Amino acid sequence: MPVNKKIRELQEKREKVLLGGGEQAIEKQKAMGKRTARERIMALLDENSFNEYDLFVEHDARDFDMDKKSLPSDGVIIGSGTIYGAPVAIFAQDFTVAGGSLGLMHSRKITKIMDHALKMRIPLIGINDSGGARIQEGVNSLAGYGEIFYRNTISSGIIPQLSVILGPCAGGAVYSPALTDFVFVVDNISKMFITGPEVIKTVLGEEISMEDLGGARVHSEVTGNAHFFAMSEEECFEQIKKLITFIPWNNSQKARAFEPGEPKPEYNINKIIPEDPTLPYDVKDVIRAIVDNSDFFEIMELYAKNIVIGFGRMGGRTTGFVANQPLEMAGVLDVDSSDKAARFIRYCDAFNIPIITLVDLPGYLPGVDQEHAGVIRHGAKVLYAYSEATVPKLTVILRKAYGGGYIAMSSRHLRADFVFAWPSAEIAVMGPEGAANIIFRKEIMTASDPDGMRKQKVEEYKTKFANPYVAASRGYVDAVIEPSETRKFLMHAIEVSGNKDVPMPHKKHGLPPF
Amino acid sequence: MFQCHIRNMVFLLFNKCIINLNRKIMDNNDKLGYLNIDDSLYQTRISNKFQNRKSYKPADPKIILSFIPGTVVDIMIVKGQKVSKGEDLMILDAMKMKNKLKCSMDGKVKSIAVKKGDKVSKGTVLLELE
């Protein structure tokens, strides 16, 4: 039968292309501890959910004898599928085909699936594993990158965009992940940099390994370019799947609701915070004492640890958490933590996720390095992000809320919808020691016992101002609550803010200080 | 290797600044130091970045530093030579540009710290004036 013959022909064609760069190249990929592009897609998506497109696309290079070469699928796999039933568009660069290098048709496949994701309003996942531009294709290759960056930017804030770095991602190629919402890296596999170790050695004479220059750890701990760090590809895929459960498909929807569950009893909210405001504790324990099932999904865990960001659920609904971390650098705001928090606040705002802010900070980090690194500009990002955000904003002042830090951390003045404070809250212009030294300078200096006088004045200031009641008397704090009442108050606040609508004055776009 | 090295350095610095240890947090194998904010001492973990920050030194017009990493391709002066403000001292080849280094003041060349062909990183002392 002629039809069967044609079907067989298709099957044969498919089989040939599905081998990618061939058995040898696949073996090499495996030897590096990496899966092949198709294996990655299969491991990430729901079973049998992947539909592949553009399988038979061929490259378009004519120079340097490239026309004699065949590159199966031109080194990138595109398609769509589901993760826990949620639709996603996906592309994965295939390192076994010409090192996953990006040529014209390769880039057209990527932009095709990006256009598809934007049109269908579904999340886009990009798996990056590429040696970079395909030099033989010249400016067409550069054009390809530019077309991808443009689409990343236009899709930003409309559909979630996730970048997974599972191999090299160097030179201009790094800017696609940098423009997306979340970047996932895996220890010893991910490598990202603008200029590689060889160029650095030639130009500057500085020797550094790829891993130390732009490995997964560096981007998770030092640069802040990556949001999720995993020890294996498997762990990385679990992180992606979990993230997908927390975020909506697009900016006109809310994240899926889950069955609510009470926090675990081992997180006893009454016993987490030491009374002395100078002693540390782990603010993640407070979050776990508040969220459903004590399940807190942290983002950028290793970077700027003095602020904690991540997702949890309240009554089954996704909620973003921003919390000062007294355990790290006393929870101060600085260049890195401001940058980290501001971007997350804007993410939540773009995707209809309410924000809960837990406040306990002594202020901003002092230092020449901070001032010279632009803590003014970076700190302003937090003010901008909170002020601009129109999703429900709920604030709980746990302990210290001093000075500019008080204003920045989702205060009433930046339009928090609900501000709650624990009895341990200290809302003041600065810490009691500093304030007493300034206000009572004369008394302290002229006293017969200056140290005794200072202690007395610090105590005086503490009783008078280091509490939540002055702010509550002005209505800046809506309710002073017991720690054990926190979840109840927050759940109710989220419930009543479900239809929040804040009309903003018309503008093309604002000018956040970035 | 590089990371190990940094970690060890930080560890040493850490040991120096420990004043008191909180038992509960010690269980996490992390050490606490103190941070002074507005005259209050906060017990907390101190970040690597903070430990390794460079202390500020005002710029000295007598010391000429490389403002960019590169290669010294020419030296136009010798030790002891009198120089005047604006005079060309060296050519630093960097980022495909031959950058002329100009003299910052009237004076004399006290010492030259590099020779022709040297690759220098940013902030390397090139020469000293007096």
**Spatial separation of the C-alpha atoms in residues A433 and A416, rounded to whole Å:** 29
**Spatial separation of the C-alpha atoms in residues A204 and A58, rounded to whole Å:** 40
- Is residue B19 very low, low, confident or very high in pLDDT (cuts 50, 70, 90)? very low
Identify whether the C-beta of residue B73 lies closer than 8 Å to the C-beta of residue B115: no
Residue B78 and residue B21 share a domain: no
Q: Which two tokens stand for residue B123?
A: 């902030």
CA distance B40 to chain A (A): 6
Exposure of A496 in the CB half-sphere (CA atoms within 13 A): 8
ipTM score: 0.85
> Does B120 map to a domain?
yes
pLDDT of residue B25: 35
Q: In A, which residues are within 8 Å of B54 by CB distance?
A: 369
> Does B58 map to a domain?
no
Mean pLDDT of A76-90: 97
Q: In B, which residues are within 8 Å of A203 by CB distance?
A: 69-70, 94-95
pLDDT of residue A2: 64
Contact A280 B32 (CB under 8 A): yes
CA distances A315 to A292, A293, A474, Å, are 7, 10, 31
What is the DSSP code string of A88-132?
EEEEEE-TTTGGG-B-HHHHHHHHHHHHHHHHHT--EEEEE----
Q: What angle do CA A61, A63, A66 make, to 5 degrees?
A: 60
State the pTM of this model.
0.90
> Does B10 map to a domain?
yes
B18 near A CB under 8 A = no
- Residue A408 pLDDT greater than 70, yes or no: yes
B70 near A CB under 8 A = yes
Q: For residue range A249-306, what is the model confidence (pLDDT) as tens digits?
A: 999 999 999 999 999 999 999 999 998 999 999 999 999 999 999 999 999 999 999 9
Residue B75 and residue B23 share a domain: no
Residue B85 and residue B42 share a domain: no
Residue of A nearest to B58 (CA): A368
Contact A208 B1 (CB under 8 A): no
**Spatial separation of the C-alpha atoms in residues A397 and A360, rounded to whole Å:** 7
Q: In B, which residues are within 8 Å of A308 by CB distance?
A: none
> Does B71 map to a domain?
yes
Contact A433 B38 (CB under 8 A): yes
Residue B73 and residue B29 share a domain: no
pLDDT of residue B57: 85
- With a pLDDT cut of 90, the percent of chain B lying above it is 39
H or E element that contains A161: strand A161-165
Smallest Cβ distance to A431: which of B2, B22, B38?
B38
Q: In A, which residues are within 8 Å of B93 by CB distance?
A: none
Residue B101 and residue B72 share a domain: yes
A208 near B CB under 8 A = yes
pLDDT of residue A172: 86
- Structural domain total, chain B: 2
pLDDT of residue B90: 93
Inter-chain CB pairs, A–B, below 8 Å: 91
Q: Which domains does chain A have, with CATH numbers?
A: 2-246 (3.90.226.10), 269-429+467-496 (3.90.226.10), 432-465 (no CATH)
Smallest Cβ distance to B53: which of A280, A367, A435?
A367
Q: What angle do CA B51, A186, A256 make, to 5 degrees?
A: 105
Residue B67 and residue B10 share a domain: no
- A79: Cβ–Cβ under 8 A, 6 or more apart, which residues? A41, A50, A51, A52, A53, A89, A90, A91, A113
Residue B95 and residue B41 share a domain: no
- According to DSSP, the residues that pair with A191 across neighbouring strands are A168, A215
Residue of A nearest to B118 (CA): A205
CA distances A123 to A43, A112, A160, A186, A420, Å, are 17, 14, 5, 21, 35
Smallest Cβ distance to A206: which of B45, B53, B121?
B121
- Residue B7 pLDDT greater than 70, yes or no: no
Test mutation, A209, A211, A279, A371, chain B, max B CBs within 10 A: A279
Contact B22 A278 (CB under 8 A): no
B20 near A CB under 8 A = no
B27 near A CB under 8 A = no
Residues 98-127 of chain B whose Cβ lies under 8 A from any Cβ of chain A: 119, 121
Residue of B nearest to A200 (CA): B69
Residue of A nearest to B38 (CA): A434
pLDDT of residue A20: 85
Residue B124 and residue B68 share a domain: yes
- Residue A107 pLDDT greater than 90, yes or no: yes
pLDDT of residue A1: 57
Smallest Cβ distance to B45: which of A327, A336, A437?
A327
**Spatial separation of the C-alpha atoms in residues A224 and A355, rounded to whole Å:** 21
- Is residue A428 very low, low, confident or very high in pLDDT (cuts 50, 70, 90)? very high
Q: Bigger pLDDT: B4 or A335?
A: A335
Mean pLDDT of B92-105: 88
- Residue B14 pLDDT greater than 80, yes or no: no
Contact B49 A206 (CB under 8 A): no
CATH number for B117: 2.40.50.100
pLDDT of residue A65: 79
- Residue B56 pLDDT greater than 90, yes or no: no
Domain around B72 = 63-129
With tokens 């970077």, the residue in question is A303
> Does B27 map to a domain?
yes
Test mutation, A195, A201, A204, chain B, max B CBs within 10 A: A204
For chain A, the average pLDDT equals: 94
Residue B69 and residue B14 share a domain: no
Mean pLDDT of A483-498: 96
Residue B119 and residue B75 share a domain: yes
A197 near B CB under 8 A = no
- Is residue A80 very low, low, confident or very high in pLDDT (cuts 50, 70, 90)? very high
Smallest Cβ distance to B119: which of A205, A332, A363?
A205
Contact A369 B54 (CB under 8 A): yes
Q: For residue range A177-219, what is the model confidence (pLDDT) as tens digits?
A: 999 999 999 999 999 999 999 888 887 778 899 999 999 999 9
Mean pLDDT of B93-105: 88
> Does B56 map to a domain?
no
Question: DSSP H helical segments within A410-482, as ranges?
Answer: 432-439, 441-446, 450-465, 469-473
- Is residue B30 very low, low, confident or very high in pLDDT (cuts 50, 70, 90)? low
Contact A362 B2 (CB under 8 A): no
Contact A203 B42 (CB under 8 A): no
Contact B40 A369 (CB under 8 A): no
Residue B67 and residue B35 share a domain: no
> Does B77 map to a domain?
yes
Q: In A, which residues are within 8 Å of B69 by CB distance?
A: 203-206
Q: For residue range A152-165, what is the model confidence (pLDDT) as tens digits?
A: 999 999 999 999 99
Strand spans (E) along A248-392: 297-299, 307-314, 317-324, 355-361
- A327: Cβ–Cβ under 8 A, 6 or more apart, which residues? A280, A281, A282, A283, A305, B25, B44, B45
Q: In A, which residues are within 8 Å of B55 by CB distance?
A: 368
Residue B119 and residue B98 share a domain: yes
- Is residue B55 very low, low, confident or very high in pLDDT (cuts 50, 70, 90)? confident
- Residue A309 pLDDT greater than 50, yes or no: yes
